[in-house]
Amino acid sequence: MKWSEKDNIKLFLTQVTVIKGTNLTIKIRYFHMIILVNDGISKSGIEALEAAGFEVLNTNVAQQQLINYINKHKVIGLLVRSATQVTKDLIDSCPTLKLIGRGGVGMDNIDVVYAKKKGLHVINTPGASSESVAELVFAHLYGAVRFLYDSNRNMPLDGDSKFKDLKKAYSKGTELKGKTLGIIGFGKIGQATAKIALGIGMKVAYYDPEITSCDIELQFFDTQTISFHLESTTKQKVLETADFITVHVPAQKEYVLSSEEFNQMKDHAGVLNVARGGVLDEVALVDALENNKIAFAALDVFENEPNPEIRVLMHPSISLSPHIGAATLEAQDRIGVELATQISTLLK
């Protein structure tokens, strides 16, 4: 039997032969290999999955309806991002499920240990969005040191009537070159952030108990490279010496930055969190801002997503974005293709 490209979405036919006299009977059963993309995936990722022979359901199923949907469609692979919760109950209730994929780094919305105990493949894409997240750190950082987070709020309101007053209010910006960036957590994203910092002339101090030293290589457009050797220092030293501190750690049981850490920082330091909501104590942060201990903060993630606290959203010294660290076209393409490659390897 010859298969067309269109038929390739039906994979792995099983043949059962029965010989009756001189007649050969062939029974063919088709097994659809269906992947549910519940939180979105790039077009290139869908195309890569379909080219590999999978049927892709690219839809968003509400959490309370997800178990029924998976069972009804006999889904074997569930792809999520940060919104969908893959719990023990879901895993137990969906016997067709063979794989859970997370488009991104952190997997705190997936019961990873239990899924693996039940024999499911659990995959993610730890390196695909590193550059995008690192660039968002600096989008916030550049905006913060020139007060853009505040001027972009006030210019539409008072730019025509109080232009000179606003100009004076925002005229004490600082440069990043020569300043020290403190990085807590030095995995792929922390290292990508360090590359940008070093590239613009910043000093880098980092703390990571798992990565005691690291060689950072900067690659330039003309194929030239330069390497920097960095060594982990103590968390306290990072807090005491850095002009700006950015956190790049997975979800934690305890705060990584709270009142104690804010008190150890240099006066008027800046704090950034584009990692996970809950690694930074937002109440203590607001207190530090209002006591003028911290000059500004930048948050892409929040303790109470998707309903951040109004006190955080309305604070004039916090630069805000709605959890978009990995949300670039380039990163989404890499995530989609990387997931498709892993799925093809594991399930075919």
Q: What pLDDT does residue 57 have?
A: 96
DSSP string, 170-192: T-----STT-EEEEE--SHHHHH
Q: What pLDDT does residue 16 have?
A: 42
Q: How far apart are CA 75 and CA 95, in angstroms?
A: 9
Among 81, 140, 248, 323, the active-site one is 323
pTM value?
0.85
Q: What pLDDT does residue 88 have?
A: 97
Residues 149 and 264 both lie in one domain: yes
Judged against a pLDDT cut of 80, whether residue 258 lies above it is answered with yes
Indicate whether 122 belongs to any domain.
Answer: yes
Alpha-carbon radius of gyration of the chain: 25
- Convert the pLDDT of each residue in 146-201 to its tens digit: 999 999 999 999 999 999 999 999 999 999 999 999 999 999 999 999 999 999 99
Higher pLDDT, 6 or 139: 139
Judged against a pLDDT cut of 60, whether residue 2 lies above it is answered with no
Among 276, 282, 315, 334, the active-site one is 276
Judged against a pLDDT cut of 70, whether residue 77 lies above it is answered with yes
Average pLDDT value for residue range 314-326: 96
Residues 185 and 259 both lie in one domain: yes
Judged against a pLDDT cut of 80, whether residue 31 lies above it is answered with no
Q: What pLDDT does residue 23 have?
A: 52
Lowest mean per-residue pLDDT among 20-24, 69-73, 285-289:
20-24
Q: How far apart are CA 257 and CA 279, in angstroms?
A: 7
Judged against a pLDDT cut of 60, whether residue 128 lies above it is answered with yes
Candidates 279, 326, 318; CA nearest to 299 is 318
Q: How far apart are CA 253 and CA 341, in angstroms?
A: 33
Residues 134 and 257 both lie in one domain: yes
Judged against a pLDDT cut of 70, whether residue 3 lies above it is answered with no
- Convert the pLDDT of each residue in 13-24 to its tens digit: 444 444 444 454
Quote the percentage of the chain above a pLDDT of 90: 86
Among 135, 240, 305, 309, the active-site one is 305
Residue 153 is among the residues annotated as catalytic for this protein: no
Higher pLDDT, 259 or 5: 259
Q: How far apart are CA 28 and CA 85, in angstroms?
A: 37
Higher pLDDT, 104 or 102: 102
Residues 56 and 190 both lie in one domain: no
Residues 160 and 287 both lie in one domain: yes
Residue 282 is among the residues annotated as catalytic for this protein: no
Quote the percentage of the chain above a pLDDT of 70: 91
Q: Which domain CATH number covers 54?
A: 3.40.50.720
108 pLDDT band (50/70/90 cuts)?
confident
Structural domain span for residue 30: 6-126+330-347
Residues 42 and 182 both lie in one domain: no
Residue 32 is among the residues annotated as catalytic for this protein: no
Residues 312 and 335 both lie in one domain: no
Indicate whether 309 belongs to any domain.
Answer: yes
285-311: b or e for each residue (b if 16 or more CB lie within 10 Å)? bbebbeeebbbbbbbbbbbeeeebeee
- Convert the pLDDT of each residue in 237-246 to its tens digit: 999 999 999 9
Indicate whether 265 belongs to any domain.
Answer: yes
12 pLDDT band (50/70/90 cuts)?
very low
Residues 155 and 302 both lie in one domain: yes
**Half-sphere exposure at residue 173, Cβ-oriented, CA atoms within 13 angstroms:** 18
Indicate whether 316 belongs to any domain.
Answer: yes
Count of the separate structural domains present in the chain: 2
Contact between 199 and 220 (Cβ < 8 Å): no
